[in-house]
Structure 1
């Protein structure tokens, strides 16, 4: 399935809601966003897949990227992809606003950074990347030993004393997940009493599908409240979309395994506002 290319669309500010399903967004967006048009698009399978697909070629010097997601950072290249060379500027919100208890970046610091970026760069395009509705969920507490991993992105797991060992362990686990299937692999680990390390496995073991969907929707509503606040302070053509969706048991998938063809993961929203031009682009 070919991923829709955000760069081929017309917009002044593009808001990325990480891991936002099309159907979940469609069911609640009217409570937060006024007017506009909603379409279903084909997204990626994970954030790194999306970044490579959309921004893999060229540099985009008219875009300021406000990033709550450590994969989009000004500090570190990963697997040959160099985010810091792609954009006019990256605002590393994740570096200062990462909440160690929640294991994520709450949405409000991203909103504040986006409004500051607009004031400082009135004539450039903005991409504002919120981590929500992506897990971990803002209404529950993650045990201290359960971590989000970013495979060496500066500021996160690279600082761990056991980085090399833990990275190797994750790669081995991911290989078994691909061979056995994620749910089957987690069932096997649970049967043998192997301790949980990843947020995904913790959530899968701890909550029912209905509970996961409820937590996910609360995350979505929380971030849409911030999006509404942000849109009230921006002019021009505005869009809200996602890099990928999220699965909750559909076709045996949970969350967003890279490479999946699952529609729950691949179908994402694309909402565009009624164009609200101001004078900032006038000579």
Structure 2
């Protein structure tokens, strides 16, 4: 069901209105809460699963130079929040440590009801770069290596925030760009692009998007080189950069939940074989201290979620 405010917002923007119609189509009039054709990541075979946030299959295929075997999979979701609910809800994962640069799990953890052995929230103060408005991939890799050393008998789930917005270019951010969506000092969102509130040129965004993946892949390679066991590199969902959605052919931007186009749910499944390690389930380790709701909200805004 939709709230009155959501309905008013959709009716106030033709693009958002037709997005909602597309969502109803893909979710079969809301009879399913996620893409049931997608993979259950925790039933898959891996010791280490590295998630690149919002990484399209076609981008990864063209840009990676990692050693391994590339396959494709369908994700259960077209947004991180939806992906969490589709894969994590009420799961007993005491054999797994989750290292994440994305605050979405922390925000929804009580509703999700997931039991990990440990969760490492990289996005908190020690991992956040105030200038870049995100967690750099090098920092996520550092925390993941530390977690692998501390928990050698656990499955390791590592969630990079890249190539998700805000983008990282060779200079860190596209400071010299006039497009409002790419201004480093202002939190933007794909929804604002969708409604026309922020300027967006698909070619410029594609360049920044691709450069962000290029910036991230060396950190992924570094982590893969240190890990024991079978590793997989995948994504929670993809992203649309002005392509036409279905069945109503509006130009779509970002990764709205509940819309299962190929650009949004086709993800890489890159397998790196290694000597398997034994994993055990144990009671959860001591939980890190909580942070304020204001901090979580601020992080989400900087990442374009709000």
For Structure 1 versus Structure 2, the TM-score category normalised by the shorter chain is: 0.7 to 0.9
**How far off its partner does 1:124 sit?**
0.4
Match status 1:63 vs 2:104: no
**Residue correspondence of structure 1 range 49-198 to structure 2 within 5 A:** 49-73=82-106, 76-77=107-108, 80-82=111-113, 85-95=114-124, 96-139=126-169, 140=173, 141=175, 142-146=183-187, 183=194, 186-187=195-196, 190=197
Deviation string, structure 1 residues 103-125 (Cα, Å, up to 9, x no partner): 21110111011111111111100
> What TM-score do you get using the length of structure 2 for normalisation?
0.69
For the residues of structure 1 that align with 2:108 and 2:187, how far apart are their CA atoms? Answer: 25
**How far off its partner does 1:101 sit?**
2.3
**Residue correspondence of structure 1 range 4-19 to structure 2 within 5 A:** 4-19=39-54
Deviation string, structure 1 residues 137-186 (Cα, Å, up to 9, x no partner): 112244434267xxxxxxxxxxxxxxxxxxxxxxxx97xx8xxxx73xx2
Change (3 A) 1:78 1:118: closer
Q: Secondary structure at the match of 2:162?
A: coil
> What TM-score do you get using the length of structure 1 for normalisation?
0.74
For the residues of structure 1 that align with 2:73 and 2:239, how far apart are their CA atoms? Answer: 15
Aligned residues: 227
For the residues of structure 1 that align with 2:75 and 2:260, how far apart are their CA atoms? Answer: 10
For the residues of structure 2 that align with 1:100 and 1:35, how far apart are their CA atoms? Answer: 35
In structure 2, stretches of 5+ residues that fail to align are 1-34, 176-182, 245-250, 281-306
Q: Secondary structure at the match of 1:214?
A: helix
Higher relative contact order structure (alpha carbons within 8 Å, sequence separation ≥ 6)? 1
What residue is the counterpart of 1:263 in the other structure? 262
For the residues of structure 1 that align with 2:279 and 2:46, how far apart are their CA atoms? Answer: 16
- Contact 1:43/1:267, CA 8 A, preserved across alignment: no
Change (3 A) 1:78 1:229: closer
For the residues of structure 1 that align with 2:128 and 2:54, how far apart are their CA atoms? Answer: 18
For the residues of structure 1 that align with 2:111 and 2:221, how far apart are their CA atoms? Answer: 36
**Residue correspondence of structure 1 range 20-39 to structure 2 within 5 A:** 20-29=55-64, 31=65, 33-39=66-72
- Contact 1:43/1:268, CA 8 A, preserved across alignment: no
